[in-house]
Amino acid sequence: MAQSSSAGQDTERFVRLFVEGQREVLRYILALVPDVEDAHEILQETAVDLWKKFDRYDPAFPFVPWACRFALLRVLKFRQQESRRCRCLSLEAITQLAADRSDKDELLEDRRRALAACLKHLSESERLMVEQRYSQQMSVAKIALASERNVFTLYKALERVRRRLFECVHRRLELGTNR
Amino acid sequence: MARPFPDHERYRLLSAWCDGTLSDSQMDRLDELLRTDPEFRSFYLEYMDQHAVLAADGLPVGNPLLTDRRPRSGGREVADSETDGRVRPGRESRSGRSRRGPRSWHRWSVAAAALLLIGLTAWLRPAGRRETPTVARPPLWVARPGLAPAGGFAVVVQLDQAEWQPGEGQMPSEGDILAASRLVLCSGRMTLALLSGVTLTIEGPADLELLTMDRVHCRRGKLRARVPAGAEGFVVSSPGSAVVDLGTEFALNIAGDGQARMMVFEGEAEAAVLNASGSPLRSQQVTESHAIAIDPRVGQIEKATARADEFITASVLVAPPLPLGASYRSAVMEARPWGYWRFEAIERGTTGSEVAGRPPLRATGPVHLAVAGDGNRCAEFGPGGAEQYLEMDGLWSPPATPGYAVELWFLSGRIGQSALASLIETGPTSDDYKHLFLIELTASDRQSLFPPGSVRFLHRWPPGDWGGDNMFSSRYYVPNRWHHVVAQRNGGRMELYLDGAPTESGSPRPDVESATEACRLLVGRLKPVPGPKGGVHARAFVGRIDELALYDRPLSADEIRRHFGLGALWGGSPGP
C-alpha cells in the first residue's frame, strides 16, 4: 500500500512537472524541427523517456533543462530515422545549436515578452494570417484557398510578417521598452 | 566559414525552413551556415524561437486577437479535409500525414497527462501513423533512484531502431541496467555491456533471456559477443545447444527450431549439443575464422563454410558529443582551479593548461585529440592495448587542509577496470609506485570485491602501493556516454560525485592527516612506463577524457552541480 501510494505521488509529480514544462520543451524541439506535427511526435517520445527515467530526476535541478536533454536525444534519433523522408539539419549543426542555446535563455525570454507586444502592431490581415498559420495550423495552401490569394504571394507575406515581428522585438529590446 | 550573405537572404532562408519549402541547395546552404557561422547561429536561435513560440503557444495567452474564427472561402468554411490540388511550391508538409484539427495538440497533451495519471498503458496515436507501440508501466526493475536494481548486470549501451514486442519482456532504454530478464526484440539492434566486460550485440527478431553476467539464453535471433581477457567462460545457450567463449569474439545465429550457426572471428570458443538434462552430448572447439552448424534435433555439430556476411557485424558505437562552450570554461575558471586542461590542442607532444603558469600534460603513446562536438576537443585513448597516457610536466601537492578536488568528464568505451587519473608519489624509486590518489572505473572481477560498473575513489595516506580508503559511486557508469566526476577530500572526509550527485554511502572515517606530498599526475593509466616487475600497472583506459581540473580546495555541492549541469543540459549525459 505504501509503495502504491508513493508510486501515485510520483505520477502526480511527474504529470505536474511535465504539464508545466511541456510548452518550453516543445519550443526547444520546434527550434530544431520546425514542422509542428513532427515536433509533437518527438515530444510524445520525449514524454515517454522522461517517465521511464523519472526516478532519476533530481528535484534540485530545474525540470525543463533536464527534459530538454532527452528532447535533444529524440531529435537526433528522429533525424537518424527520418532522414529519407524529410530534410533535417546535420548532426553537427544540431549539436552546435544545442550548445549555443545554453547561453540564450534570458534573451529568449525577453524576446518572448516583446513578441506579445509586437503582435499588436500587425495589420488586420497580417494578424489573421499568423492566427491561421500558427493557432489553427493551416497550411499555406489552405490559407491561399480560403483567402483566394496566390500561394506564392502568401509565402512572401508570411516571410515579411515574420521579419517585421523579429525586427520589432529587436527594436523593443534595444530601446529597453520591454517591461 | 561560409560565404557572406545579404540580410534579406537569411530571413528568406529561415522563413522557408519554417514552412518546409527549402530546396536541396538551400538546405545545404542553411546547414553550412549553421555549422560555420556563429553569428548566423545566434540569429537562427532567436528567429526560430519566435517561430516556436507562435507554434507552441499559438498567440500569447490573453491576447485579444485569439478568436475562434474559421477560415472562409466564398462564404463557406474551409474544412481541413479539403486540399487545393494546385501548385505546391517545395514540400510544405514533411510528414504527408493528416493534420490534426486546430488546437487538438493541446487537448492531446492534457489527455496524455491524464493517461499517465491513471496509469493506463495504451497510448493512441492519430490514424495514419505506424502501429501503436505500447508504453509499459515503469518496469519493476527500476528500483531506486539512480541506482542499479538489485542483481543488475547488463547496461543498455545503444539501441538502433529497436522495436520491442509489446507485452513480452522488458522494453529498456539506453543507459538502463538490466537484471535477469527477458528481452523480445522485433527488429533493430541492441548493444549490451555486461559488468563482466562482455559486449553483446543482438539483432531482432530475437528472443533472449539474460540469466547472469556470464550466461544468456537465446531462443532465437542473431547475436555477437566480444569477450575480453578475464571474462572467459561467457555462455550463450539455446534450445538444445550451448556455446562457451574461451576469450574471443564470436557470432551466433539461432533459428526458432534450435538449429544454429556459429562463427569465431577472434580467439576460440567451444560449442556443444545438449542432452535432455542439459549436459553436453557432443562438443566441438572452434578456432578463429572457422564456422560450424549445430542441429540439436539430431545431436549434430558439423563444420560449415565460414561466411562473415551471414552474421551480424559488431556494433559501431558513435561517441555522443560533449559540446561544452565558453560558459563551461568560465564556470570552471571562476572556481579557481590549480590546473585546468581542456585538450584543445597538442603542441610538441603536450597540451597546455588554461591556468597560466601551470605545467602542461605530456602525451605518451598514441593518445590523441578528438572532436567532442561544437569545436570542443578531448583526449582520446584508443583500444588495442598500446601503452598510452598523459602525465603532467610538473608536480602538484594536493593540500591536506582544507582538502583538494579532481574533476573531469569521461566517456568509457567499455565496462572494464581502468584508471582515469592518479597521483603518484615522486621520490626514491622502490619496487612499485606509490599512489596517494586514484579515480578508476570498475568491472566484475573474481579476484576483487569492488562493486562492478562503479567509479572508485581511492585515497592513501601516506602514499603506498596497497591499502587506503575507498569510495564507490552508488550510480553506475554507462559505456559510450559522457559522465562528470569529482573526487575530493573535504576537511578530512572523502567525497565522490558522479553526474552531479554525491555518493550516498558513508565515506571512511575522517582522516587527521595534515601533511601532503608532491605528486605526479597520470591520466589514463594506473602507473607510468616502465612498469614495475610483476603486479598490475596498466588498467589502461579506453575512451575519452575532457575538462580535467585540479583544485586546492574541495568544491561545493552547488559548484559541482553547476559544472555538471552545464554539460548535461546541452551535451552530456541526461543523468544516470
Residue percentage of chain A with pLDDT more than 90? 30
DSSP A54: G
DSSP A84: T
Contact flag B95-A52 (C-beta cutoff 8 Å): no
- Is 70 exceeded by the pLDDT of residue B429? no
Distance (Å) of CA B522 to CA A64, B123, B330, B416, B483: 38, 51, 25, 18, 19
- Is 50 exceeded by the pLDDT of residue B574? no
| Bigger pLDDT: B455 vs B534 | B455
Residue that is written with C-alpha cell 485569439 in the block: B66
Rounded CA-CA distance B487/B498 in Å is 9
Grid cell in block for residue B425: 608519489
Contact flag B138-A51 (C-beta cutoff 8 Å): yes
Residues B515, B398 contacting (CB under 8 angstroms): no
φ/ψ (deg, to 5) at B319: -65, 130
Strands (E), B382-443: 389-392, 403-412, 418-425, 435-441
Rounded CA-CA distance A62/B236 in Å is 44
- Is 80 exceeded by the pLDDT of residue B150? no
B236-274 per-position pLDDT tens digit:
999 899 999 887 899 999 998 889 999 999 998 999 998
Distance (Å) of CA A165 to CA A121, A127, B41: 9, 11, 19
B278-318 per-position pLDDT tens digit:
788 888 889 999 999 999 888 899 999 989 999 999 888 87
Residue A34 contacts B, CB cutoff 8 Å:
yes
Lowest-confidence region among A121-130, B48-57, B350-359: A121-130
My answer on whether omega of the bond before B530 falls inside 30° of 0, hence cis, is yes
Q: What is the mean pLDDT of chain A?
A: 86
- Name the residue of chain A whose CA is nearest to B23's CA: A87
CA distance A56 to chain B (A): 5
Angle at B316 between CA B313 and CA B320, to 5 degrees: 165
Residue B85 class from Cβ within 10 Å (0-12 exposed, 13-18 middle, 19+ buried)?
exposed
Backbone dihedral region for residue B491 (phi beyond 0: left; psi -120 to 50: alpha; all else: beta): left
Contact flag A151-B135 (C-beta cutoff 8 Å): no
What's residue B531's pLDDT?
63
Residue B364's SS3 state is strand
- Name the residue of chain A whose CA is nearest to B99's CA: A37
Residue B3's SS3 state is coil
Grid cell in block for residue B106: 493541446
Residue percentage of chain B with pLDDT more than 70? 76
Q: Which has the closest alpha carbon to A108: B570, B55, B53?
A: B53
Q: How many CB pairs under 8 A join A and B?
A: 296
Q: Sorting pLDDT into bands at 50, 70 and 90, what band is A85?
A: low
Nearest to A56 among B15, B45, B146 (CB): B146
CA distance A51 to chain B (A): 8
B390-418 per-position pLDDT tens digit:
999 999 999 988 999 999 999 999 999 99
- Name the residue of chain A whose CA is nearest to B119's CA: A11
Q: Sorting pLDDT into bands at 50, 70 and 90, what band is A157?
A: confident
| Bigger pLDDT: B548 vs B93 | B548
φ/ψ (deg, to 5) at A70: -65, -40
Grid cell in block for residue B437: 590518489
CA distance A178 to chain B (A): 15
Distance (Å) of CA A167 to CA A173, B47, B52: 10, 10, 16
* Test the A interface: residue of B34, B137, B178, B564 with most A CBs within 10 Å: B34
If you count them, how many residues does chain B have?
A: 576
Residues A87, A34 contacting (CB under 8 angstroms): no
Residue A6 contacts B, CB cutoff 8 Å:
no
| Predicted complex ipTM | 0.94
Beta strands B215-226; B235-238: pairing state: parallel
Q: Which has the closest alpha carbon to A143: B82, B21, B48, B47?
A: B82
Q: Which has the closest alpha carbon to B436: B408, B469, B413?
A: B469
Q: Sorting pLDDT into bands at 50, 70 and 90, what band is B1?
A: very low
Residues B500, B485 contacting (CB under 8 angstroms): no
Enclosing H/E stretch for A117? helix A105-119
Nearest to B138 among A52, A81, A86 (CB): A52
- Name the residue of chain B whose CA is nearest to A109's CA: B49
- Is 60 exceeded by the pLDDT of residue A58? yes
Q: Sorting pLDDT into bands at 50, 70 and 90, what band is A27?
A: very high
Q: Give me the helices (H) in B465-514, please.
A: none
Grid cell in block for residue B77: 468554411
Beta strands B435-441; B501-502: pairing state: unpaired
Q: Sorting pLDDT into bands at 50, 70 and 90, what band is B175?
A: confident
Residues of A in contact with B30 (CB under 8 A): 89
